[in-house]
Amino acid sequence: MEATVQSNARELWSGGDSPFKVSYGKIMMWYFLISDTFSFAGLLISYGAIRLSQPAHDEANPLSWPDPNHVFNAVPFLHGHYPLVFVTFMTFTLIFSSVTMVRAVQEGHAMNRKGVLFWLGLTIIGGLIFVGSQAFEWSHLIHEGMTQKSNPFGASAFGGLFFLITGFHGFHVSVGVMLNSWAFLMTFFGAFHRRGHYEMIEKLGLYWHFVDLVWVFVFLAFYLL
């Protein structure tokens, strides 16, 4: 048993073929995502370093780190305070759009053009809702007086970090929505079908799940901790 595994590994790496049995495009996407992990890590570590240098949350100290329940409690069209309700909705939208992306990839494997269009379409809508919600949240917070320099809820560093990091993530989501829309059109006009495979959807799927995963960390940093 072990011997066969070993000899397979040897053959896999002996040239003339892809050792992972994966096309170059997908390998590139994987390495790009690993690399992008490091740019997010750089930002999140900066967040951690700056946050730890500030006084922890303390009702009595207006310069201490703010309480997320206090900062994020608005929901569009509703009055009153609903701590973290809206961001929960955003998070579910994004996770749901990851699920629809998985379905789009599956339909691609089955060479079902209509199925790809349907599920990819839902993914795009999910992404748009997320970006739109973020726009709402930003404008609401700006309205409340939070900017990249100031923060009525506590330590001013919170504002800069929040806008920078959620902005960087939102930028990734927007790029993903654009790429998905492009792939939607390509599918619509049958370009992938003629190519004989929907690998492009798979690659975009990897990117989309990654953006989703990163959100979990961003969410953790700003809304939960």
Partner 1 sequence: MSQETTIKEHLETHVTDHDHDHDHGHHDHHQSFISKYIFSTDHKTIAKQFLVTGIIWAIVGGGLSVLFRIQLGYPDADLSWMKPLLGKWITPEGHIAPEFYNALITMHGTILVFFVLTAGLSGTFSNYLIPLMIGARDMASGFINMLSYWFFFLSSVVMAVSFFLATGPASGGWTAYPPLNALPAAASGSVAGVDYWLVSIVLFIVSVLLGGLNYITTVINLRTRGMKMFRLPLPIWAFFLTAVIGLLSFPVLLSAGVLLLFDRNLGTSFYLDQIYIGGEALANAGGSPILYQHLFWFLGHPEVYIIILPAMGIASEVLSVHSRKPIFGYTAMIYSLLAIAVLSFIVWAHHMFMTGMNPFIGSIFVIFTLIIAVPSAVKVFNWLTTLWRGNIKLTPPMMFAIGFVSLFISGGVTGIFLGNSSIDVELHDTYFVVAHFHLVMGVAAFFGMFAGIYHWFPKMFGRHMNNTLSYIHFWGTIVCAYLIFFPMHWEYMLPRRYPTHAGFDTFGMFAQLNEFITIAAMASFAFQLIFVFNFFYSIWYGRKLKEQNPYHATTLEWTTPIRPGHGNWPGDIPEVHRWAYDYSKHGRDFIPQTEPLSQYEIEHGEHGDEMDSDVIAHENDDHQS
- Contacting positions for partner 1 (CB under 8 A): 10, 13-20, 22-25, 27-28, 31-32, 34-43, 45-46, 49-50, 53-54, 148-149, 155-157, 160-161, 164, 168
Closest by alpha carbon to 221, among 42, 36, 35, 51? 51
Residues 6 or more apart from 45 whose CB is under 8 A from it?
none
Closest separation in Å from C-beta 55 to partner 1? 10
Closest separation in Å from C-beta 138 to partner 1? 14
∠ CA 156-81-136 to the nearest 5 degrees? 65
Kindly tell me which of 87 and 161 has the beta carbon lying closer to partner 1.
161
Kindly tell me which of 39 and 139 has the beta carbon lying closer to partner 1.
39
CB atoms closer than 10 angstroms to residue 15: 7
SS3 state at 55:
coil
Query: How many angstroms separate the CA atoms of 127 and 162, rounded?
Result: 20
Kindly tell me which of 115 and 160 has the beta carbon lying closer to partner 1.
160
Kindly tell me which of 50 and 75 has the beta carbon lying closer to partner 1.
50
Closest separation in Å from C-beta 88 to partner 1? 28
